[in-house]
Amino acid sequence: MEINRLIAEHGVYFYLTAFIWTFLEGETFVLFAAFAAAQGLLNPVLLLAVTLLGSFSGDQTYFWIGRSFGLRLLNRFPRWRYGVASALYWLERYNTGFILSFRFIYGVRNFSSFAMGMSAVCWKRFLTLNFLAACIWAGGFVAVGYFLGHAFRRVLGDLVRSFSLVMLAVFIVFALAVWLVHRIQKRRQLRVPSAASRSLSQRLEFGASSD
């Protein structure tokens, strides 16, 4: 069964999948769905709404998990400490800018909301900035996917209806771009001063001992 027919017959499940996917993390599916919306297979406004809500809800949940169970989880999963320490380092350095942009930073974003839940950031402030950041993130990736869909349609015409082949080409390129960005971000992450990381780790240990 072709992908476009599958979307046409089960479109409502694609919205649900987009919500779940963005709740957990993932712009790849957002680009895919926005590309489909450009072909008239999905409603772009509804897609934007569910991806925004999924991204916002996911990071809000991770924030509260960090605030309620952060130290216990770090003690249980010590491998998380470096990721949390890195996120807190960037939070201390850039504060509002980091909260608004952490979704775009590969290698750090997985721990960011959880780490900020363990920080002194006020939950009301995080909620407001998190919503704004989710708007930027969802709007950006839906717009990019939608633009690519129209661009491919304009260049390829009816050939774009062979959706599977077009999307395969798009996501091969996208996967390579994500890999490249991930490598760059990983190198930047390694530049976090070790002293700052140790300081943050000691702070977390102090908090665990005083809990």
CA distance 187 to 192: 9
Asked if 83 and 197 touch (Cβ cutoff 8 Å), the reply is no
Q: What is the pLDDT of residue 204?
A: 52
| H-type alpha helices, the chain | 3-9, 11-24, 28-38, 44-76, 80-94, 96-101, 109-118, 123-156, 163-190, 194-210
What is the predicted pLDDT for the residue at 167?
A: 60
> Could you give the CA distance from residue 26 to residue 21 in angstroms, rounded to a whole number?
6
pLDDT of residue 3: 64
Q: What is the pLDDT of residue 202?
A: 52
pLDDT for position 195 = 44
Structural domain boundaries in the chain: 3-210
Please report the pLDDT score of residue 53 as a whole number: 97
pLDDT for position 106 = 74
Residues of the chain with pLDDT under 70: 1-4, 8, 107, 155-179, 181-211
